[in-house]
A and B are shown apart, each in its own frame.
Chain A
Amino acid sequence: MTKLREAKSDLAPTATITSSEITMSDTLLFRQAHPSFVHNSRPSSQVFRPSRNDNGLMSVDNGSKTSAAEAFIHYTEKRRLKSEGTWALSIAECNAESLKGYDSPVTEEPQNPAHAHIDFNDFGNSAIEGKAKRLRAKAEARGKQHP
């Protein structure tokens, strides 16, 4: 399946991305957690939902194209954003929440061919919050992937 969407806010504002669904159920999707969203090593459910400027698309990195460490380095060193660490969700876990993951490589600098996103647009706030909590628990059980 291929779909077109307007780019999310943390990409170049005017870019349009071509997205193809990630279907391998065991593919891991890496998610960076802002330090303020981690308390005593526990990530908040806020980490696992799009933030208010994300247009319902939560940025992740496709684990079949990059590693947890590389994803962390790209985020903190190339994009110069803050991260307490890399957590991971599987495609199967997202699908269980009726969520799909899409490849959405970033071609502008800093390029990120592994960039992907999870689409929450079909759901309202309470449902999104519920999904975020269940995804949080899955990611926490799997443990921080890096560092």
Chain B
Amino acid sequence: MPRAEFVNPKFKGARFDDHHLPVDVLGEFKAYNDLVLALSKHLYLAKHDDRERVPRGFADQLQLKITSIERGSVAVKIERVYIGAGQDYPEFEEARDLIDQVISNDQLPARFPERFLSHFEVFGKSLRDDEAIEFSVPGQPHSKVTTYTKQKRLKLISSNRQTIESCVLLTGRITTVDLVRKRFTILLEDQTELQGSIQEGLSEALRDAHRQSENRDVLLMGKASTFENKSIAKFDQVQHLVIYNEDKLEFAFPELAKKASEIKALKVGWYDGDGTAFDGAFVNSTVSALESLLKNKKIPFPYLYPTPDGAIQAEWSMGSWDVSLAFSNEYAYLHAASLSSPETIENRFSNWQKESTLFDIGDFLVKKFIDIVA
């Protein structure tokens, strides 16, 4: 099969002076491979706005192989093997070059999302104080060598980056659930892994999603710590959750159908003598509108409450905003309050039963309150 030089790392330091490669540095190759793959997926998706996922078989096209280990101290040659007649993707080489820039520059390149810095927790972990990996990339002058040291790695992972709280909407698969530490990991489409905290009421659903993660896509909305460039440092709190089983809705938190039934069953005077009864068709229309928001705009289900004057109030916790959308026969009244300032936002949507109005409502929610969709 055809192959081409991809990168040539040289391991320098006392451990490598005998020109042998210690077994405990082998993990560095896997970590490097993972970083190249994750970054290349991100670069591909950044170029193709219309796609939510990379093409099928994308990852298979990245076949990195160690083809020689030579003296000097230990000079390794890594080549990329081209398989089959599948489409080639330049993003693999672009990712390689970007990693080279990240290591060699003092400032992160604009194209490198800060969330990928988490890969450096693993990549370079085996390096000792007096050791380095010198990377040379084919096509660049021989004098151009990028030196990766333990100090550089620590600088990358411990850079003092301020985070802010944001509302994020993520699609991915649950890869780990740790019920003891109440943490889970979600793998996003671009191969970024994010950790999140499990709160009460969600552990069972997340565990089920994890057990059958091959068939389960998860939509999460909640609070995350994010960097200035809108990359996600960590996921802090799940506020809304939807789990699909092969594209069919399997689980939603909060759930909708049971609460809708409860609202239908309310009788006049349900609120301590006050409160009107609800027409079943009106409740169904409201539920359909919320299903439409999920289907068309990926807005997860809200919490649902009746109001004594006969409206149905949907409420979302969207990061540091609390948002309500009160459906009445005449209009849907949106009210949002910032939890960190006195700011409020209001809007009224007439004819909310129309699909076009629901699109407008969905757009408004996404633009005003969701900071990052990934």
Task: Return A47 CB to nearest CB of chain B, in Å.
Answer: 9
A46 and B307: CB pair below 8 A?
A: yes
Check if A134 is an interface residue, CB within 8 A of chain B. Answer: yes
A126 and B335: CB pair below 8 A?
A: yes
Chain B residue, CB-CB nearest to A40: B254
A133 and B339: CB pair below 8 A?
A: yes
Check if B308 is an interface residue, CB within 8 A of chain A. Answer: yes
Interface size class of B (residues with CB under 8 A): 20 to 34
A130 and B201: CB pair below 8 A?
A: no
B313 and A46: CB pair below 8 A?
A: yes
Chain B residues with CB under 8 A of A121: none
Binds A, one of B32-40, B178-186, B262-270, B361-369: B262-270
Check if B337 is an interface residue, CB within 8 A of chain A. Answer: yes
Binds A, one of B3-11, B117-125, B166-174, B298-306: B298-306
Instruction: Known contacts A133-B337, A134-B339; decide if A36 and B270 are in contact (CB<8 Å).
Output: yes
Contact of B201 among A36, A41, A52, A137 (CB under 8 A): A41
Check if A10 is an interface residue, CB within 8 A of chain B. Answer: yes
A39 and B322: CB pair below 8 A?
A: no
B305 and A133: CB pair below 8 A?
A: no
Check if A136 is an interface residue, CB within 8 A of chain B. Answer: yes
B272 and A10: CB pair below 8 A?
A: yes
Task: Provide a sorted-by-A list of 27 A–B residue pairs whose CB atoms are within 8 angstroms.
Answer: A10-B272, A36-B263, A36-B270, A36-B271, A37-B305, A39-B303, A39-B304, A39-B305, A40-B201, A42-B315, A42-B317, A44-B305, A44-B313, A45-B322, A45-B324, A46-B305, A51-B274, A51-B308, A52-B274, A82-B272, A126-B335, A127-B344, A130-B342, A130-B344, A131-B337, A134-B339, A137-B339
- In the A-B complex, the 5 residue pairs with the smallest Cβ-Cβ separation, listed nearest first, are A133-B337, A133-B322, A130-B337, A40-B254, A44-B305
